[in-house]
Structure 1
Amino acid sequence: MDSLLSHWLLFVFTITITIATKFTHAQLPGTWELLVENAGIASMHTAVTRFNTVVLLDRTNIGPSRKMLPRGHCRFDRFDAILKRDCYAHSVVLDLKTNQIRPLMILTDTWCSSGQFLPDGSLLQTGGDLDGLKKIRKFEPCEANGFCDWVELKDVELVNGRWYGTNQILPDGSVIIVGGRATNTVEYYPPRKGAVMFPFLADVEDNQMDNLYPYVHLLPNGHLFIFANNKAVLYDHEINKILKDYPPLDGGPRNYPSAGSSAMLALQGDYSTAVIVVCGGAQYGAFIERSTDTPAHGSCGRIEATAPNPVWEMEDMPFGRIMGDMVMLPTGEVLIINGAQAGTQGFELASNPCLYPLLYRPDQPVGLRFMTLTPGTVPRMYHSTANLLPDGRVLVAGSNPHYLYKFKAEYPTELRIEAFSPEYLSADRANLRPVIEGIPETVRYGEVFEVSVSVTLPIVGVVEVNLGSAPFATHSFSQGQRLVKLVVKDAVPDGTGRYKVGCTAPPNGMVAPPAYYMAFAVNQGVPSVARWLQLVA
């Protein structure tokens, strides 16, 4: 009888928990949708172009993908261990309007490479492994029905091989390329005189590395905040000098393969303050021991990088997380998405997918900053990405925890592309969503200009106009990610049912490097669909 009672109580408890869990999930903010069932490749690197297309990129030596190149287009590589004659695509472009996929031709290995958009809107792509180690490539985006493709530069290459390096556009529009495996230097594109030694990366290297894919943020004073392992420096790239050592961040290493993530919060006001957040990571030793079940930690450090005596402010996420992506939303909040709750970065070295996204609300006090959102159903493990789209959704792609494509596994190679819609896109906020009716295509630094917006309900309060960059997302860090809130005047009715918002462009390239930006109007926390705006000197 006791046994029957025990089983009955266990059954009731299980049903109660299941119902409660489903009810809780239904109440969580945000929604998911499947955009593409088969992208052909698992995207290791992802970037959104000004033509509202998305470039997805994987390794070239991965073997057969699930997307063929056009007939007659093949890559020949006698050193490729799997396919000497490779007629499969390893890069594709997604049309966000139709969700159609077009194959692209990439010639040399882009495994764990880096990238950044240039001021003219072309995507610079650098390094990789094997025959791609010193290669420089460009993708000049075009309309979705165009035929633009990757071009490998013939007359220039990297001075040092760059595998696991980081790119950051600078105030003059050039790009600094930082680090890489066994490469403790920096160099530039367009090329300058060789590579420059950067001993900081060697100083923080340990026997499980943890100095790869360093977190590089351009501060509004023109200097670089560079974080690797558990330390950071303030670097003057113009004179190659470290100006400041920041205090170490508690909680162990955060960079590859320990797999935390980092973002710089929105720049606003007089643009004199920059705040950096670093969240999550693996326990030290998990990579060395090849441990898949060592719990990840959920600690976050936040530091005012421009303060005279900065210190880290610590807090904890609701979940331990490795390989999470931090995406700056148009509102200034940060979405933390993807990853796992145990193990480390590397092939087949993680377990327990973290399906719950988090919303980080920087203006809230410690303890109230994290909000748990609606979970997804697709594990996004090693080699997954997340990118902000012009319509305010977040594109989620990739996940290949295996050395080759493997579809029969606990966590198979993932070819599906999804979109996550934050709560600001919910139906009950549709009447608040502004529409940008008019905005200049090109704006100069410091220029005063107007943005015309319409909205269903009368505007109450300030309409923000915020510029979001289009970063290069890979390995849990979005290279070049940036959100700049413009100085605006109150929205004024123009007599036609629209409002005019007076804006002042960023003062210089230190606040916002010259580039194409997604310009969002934000009304009471609800962003418009962005219009692309080019910021020029």
Structure 2
Amino acid sequence: MGLLGVFVVFLHCLHLVAGQGTWTVLNNNAGISSMHTMVTHYDTAIFLDRTNIGPSQIKLPNGRCRQNPRERISKTDCYAHSVMFTPGPNTVRPLYIFTDTWCSSGHFIANGQMVQTGGDFEGNRKIRTLSPCASRGNCDWVETNDVLAVGRWYSSNQLLPSGLRQIIVGGRVTPSYEFYPKRKPGEGAFKLAMLGENDNLYPFVYLLPNGDIFIFANRRSVQLNWNSGKVVREYPLIPGNPRNYPSAGSAVLLPLTWQNGFGVAEVMICGGAATGASRSGNVNAPGSASCGRLVATAGRPNWAMQNMPIRRIMGDMLNMPNGDVLIINGALNGYQGWGKERNAALNPVNYNVATRKFQVFAKTNIPRVYHSTANLLSDGRVLVAGSNTHQFYTYRGAFPTELRVEAFSPPYLAAGNNGIRPVIRAYPKALKYKQVFVINFTVGRRVGGVEVIMNNAPFVTHSYAQGQRQLRLKTAAPVKAGAGWSVQVTAVPGATIAPPSWYMFFCVQNGIPSKAVWIKQNN
């Protein structure tokens, strides 16, 4: 072949690898295996695990210990079970969590504070908060004096249009929903019959453009008017297998767009365990490859089905800044639970929402199965953490407890795209609804169209990004502005489209996103 031929083949192989994305280990020991992960508007990430897991690999600072007589494993516990991870330096700082957050839920509210609810045993009715800070800050978890109306384990949270109140839906043996804060003193929980079935934990919950709530559990879904407490309608059953814990499918609300007035809400649900696998204990049952899309706002909605190239249980689905959906993590066989999965799904899969086509991306060498997470970072990478399919921290066996933290860089971050990747230079720090504003950016080469996309930061756990939302904003054609460019952008029309909160704003040119800036969406 000759040296030139070898060099050409080598370059071609590099191109193929870059076209599939790349993986990087950021930290070889984060101290804990994250079961719940949140990215804050300070670009830090909060990792959270159970407290009743025994010793972690990181101690609380300054000799501090947790003294909890109701703790079932270590009543005196000097180890951290939550840390703050800072991408960049890739450092961790121990955080102090008191009650057990095993299989709990949460959501950021308007001021950027995380409100975290429920858990196991003594944490079952607890409400905790964390007001995030920069990497050198001293923010930490706070146990509030408030409690849930009923204990909730494996529930899901969704921020409501006020930006201050959440609806908390479902949980183990808890077929109901409630609100925090309460709408009136003494308010309790409200029954919802569809939550009484099997395979219904961690239901998929989304705020619809008219302010109602879409709730999916097992194979059923409803539209709930949470103000009146009435189920407005029931949707058709999704074909195939059950999709919620322990069957472990995943879901995403597809981007809401200005082109249709943000009035069309479409949900996509993929994967999950084979029907009956968890009840029969069949850990070798092949997972599902099927995906369904449902326009929840349509007059006569129905599921449009297609298959992924890789079957998957326990995958995570993320709204990416180029408008695609990434499906990552999980396994090929089994169902959720300790030691109930087989054959890790190592390749992420990309889904183009417009063309409905899938693309297989580069695989990782680290299995991410039960109790793993994936979160979008503002630089466009995906932060991947956790994986512990054991009751305690166990570093042997097929899937040992995983303390390493990775980042997946999608193909849009390939070196060849640097020349056309925008860099945001000026932007407003806060927005009102319907506001017309300007973003200034520079770019090496102007190629193709430019649009501005905003993503919130969800609470990710158990294959579901709670509250995840993406908005594609009306963006005028770029105009020259000094050494760079400017675009005129129109904010979303109201709080049912994007509740008040902090959002990542990406400037996207020809499918290549900038690093995002955080902007606070106000009323």
Q: TM-score range by the shorter chain?
A: over 0.9
Q: Does 1:233 align with 2:222?
A: yes
Following the alignment from structure 1 to structure 2, what is the Cα–Cα distance between the partners of residues 470 and 76? 32
In structure 1, which of residues 286, 304, 307 is the aligned counterpart of residue 277 of structure 2? 286
Deviation of 1:23 (Å): 9.6
**Equivalent residue of 2:278, what SS?**
coil
Tell me which amino acid in the other structure corresponds to 2:208.
Answer: L
How far does the alpha carbon of each residue in 1:304-353 deviate from its partner, in whole angstroms, 9 at most, with x for none?
A: 11100001000000111000000110111010000000000001000100
Query: Matches of 1:352 and 1:140 in 2, distance apart?
Result: 38
Within 5 Å, which residues of 2 pair with 1:340-359? Answer: 340-359=331-350
Matches of 1:67 and 1:335, distance apart in 2 = 31
- For residue 492 of structure 1, the aligned residue among 479, 489, 495 is 479
Corresponding residue of 1:48: 39
- Please name the residue that 1:160 is paired with: 150
AA in 2 matched with 1:489: A
Q: Secondary structure at the match of 1:71?
A: helix
Query: Helix, strand or coil: the match of 1:378?
Result: coil
Distance 1:38 1:201 in 2: 41
The 2-side partners of 1:147 and 1:485 are apart by: 35
Answer yes or no: is the 8 Å Cα contact 1:121–1:140 preserved in 2. Answer: yes
Q: 1:242 aligns with which of 221, 231, 246?
A: 231
Cα distance in 1 between the residues matched to 2:279 and 2:200: 15
The Cα of 1:392 is off from its aligned counterpart by 0.2
Counterpart selection for 1:432 from 404, 414, 420: 420
**CA positional deviation for 1:161:** 0.6
State the alpha-carbon separation in 2 of the partners of residues 36 and 166 from structure 1: 29
Gaps of at least 5 residues in structure 2 are 1-12
Q: Compared with structure 1, are the counterparts of its residues 526 and 28 closer, same or farther at alpha carbon in structure 2 (3 Å cutoff)?
A: closer
Structure 2: which amino acid aligns with 1:370? F
In the other structure, the counterpart of 1:525 is 511
Contact 1:25–1:375 (Cα < 8 Å) also in 2: no
CA distance in 2 between partners of 1:210 and 1:192 (Å) = 30
- 1:258 alignment partner, one of 247, 253, 256: 247
The one-character-per-residue Cα deviations of 1:474-499 (angstroms, maximum 9, x if unpaired) are 000000100101111111001x1211
Identity %: 48
Deviations 1:34-70 (A, max 9, x none): 0010000000000000111000000000000000001
Are 1:222 and 2:211 an aligned pair?
yes
Does the CA-based 8 Å contact 1:179-1:201 persist in structure 2?
Answer: no
Once residues 478 and 210 of structure 2 are traced to their aligned partners in structure 1, the CA distance between those partners, rounded to angstroms, is: 30
Q: Is residue 452–residue 508 contact of structure 2 (8 Å, CA) maintained in 1?
A: yes
1:123 corresponds to: 114
Task: Determine helix, strand or coil for the equivalent of 1:281.
Answer: coil
The one of 457, 461, 465 equivalent to 1:478 is 465
- Secondary structure, in 3 states, of the residue corresponding to 1:385? strand
How far apart are 1:103 and its partner, in Å? 0.2
- The residue that corresponds to 1:514 in the other structure is 500
Letter in 2 for 1:515: S
Note if contact 2:316-2:373 (Cα within 8 Å) is conserved in structure 1: yes
**Partner of residue 312, structure 1:** 303
Give the corresponding residue for 1:391.
379
Shift of 1:289: 2.3
Give the Å deviation of 1:285: 1.9
Q: Which residue is 1:332 aligned to?
A: 323
Cα offset, 1:99, TM superposition:
0.7
Q: State whether residues 292 and 303 of structure 2, in contact with CA within 8 Å, keep that contact through their aligned partners in structure 1.
A: yes
Alignment partner, residue 4 of structure 2: none
**1:11 is matched with which residue?**
none
**Is residue 95 from structure 1 mapped to residue 95 from structure 2 by the alignment?**
no
1:73 positional shift: 1.3
CA distance change for structure 1 residues 382 and 24 in 2, over 3 Å: closer, same or farther? farther
Q: Which moved more, 1:461-470 or 1:143-152?
A: 461-470
| CA displacement at 1:28 relative to structure 2 | 5.3
Look up the match of 2:432. Answer: 444
CA-to-aligned-CA distance 1:227-266 (integer Å, 9 cap, x gap) = 0000100111111111111000011210000000000111
How far did residue 24 of structure 1 move?
A: 11
Partner Cα distance (2:182, 2:142) in 1: 18
Matched residue of 1:315: which SS? strand
Q: Is the 8 A contact 2:177 2:192 kept in 1?
A: no
8 Å CA contact 1:171–1:513 kept in 2: the answer is yes
Secondary structure at the residue paired with 1:232? strand
Q: Distance in 1 between matches of 2:152 and 2:130?
A: 19
1:188 equivalenced with 2:174 (yes/no): no
Secondary structure of 1:424's aligned partner: helix
Paired residues of 2:241 and 2:288 also in contact (CA < 8 A): no
Q: Does 1:198 align with 2:191?
A: yes
State the one-letter code of the partner of 1:189.
Y
Q: For the residues of structure 1 that align with 2:79 and 2:195, how far apart are their CA atoms?
A: 38
The alpha-carbon deviation at position 25 of structure 1 amounts to 7.4
Could you tell me which residue of structure 2 aligns to residue 8 of structure 1? none
What is the deviation of 1:27?
7.0
**1: distance between equivalents of 2:233 and 2:371?**
33
One-letter amino acid of the counterpart of residue 425, structure 1: L
Output the CA distance in 2 between the equivalents of 1:462 and 1:511.
24
Please give the root-mean-square deviation of Cα atoms over the aligned residues, in Å. Answer: 1.4
Structure 1's unaligned 5+ residue stretches are 1-21
Give aligned pairs, total.
507
2:392 aligned residue:
404
From 407, 410, 413, the equivalent of 1:422 is 410
Cα distance, 1:297 vs structure 2: 1.0
1:465 equivalent in alignment to 2:455: no
Per-residue deviation, 1:287: 1.2
SS in 2 for 1:217: strand
Structure 2 Cα separation of the partners of residues 260 and 23 of structure 1: 33
**Matches of 2:412 and 2:180, distance apart in 1:** 38
Aligned mates of 1:312, 1:283 — CA distance in 2: 19
- How far has the Cα of 1:182 moved from its partner? 1.1
Provide the C-alpha distance between the structure 2 equivalents of 1:426 and 1:355, rounded to a whole number of angstroms. 20
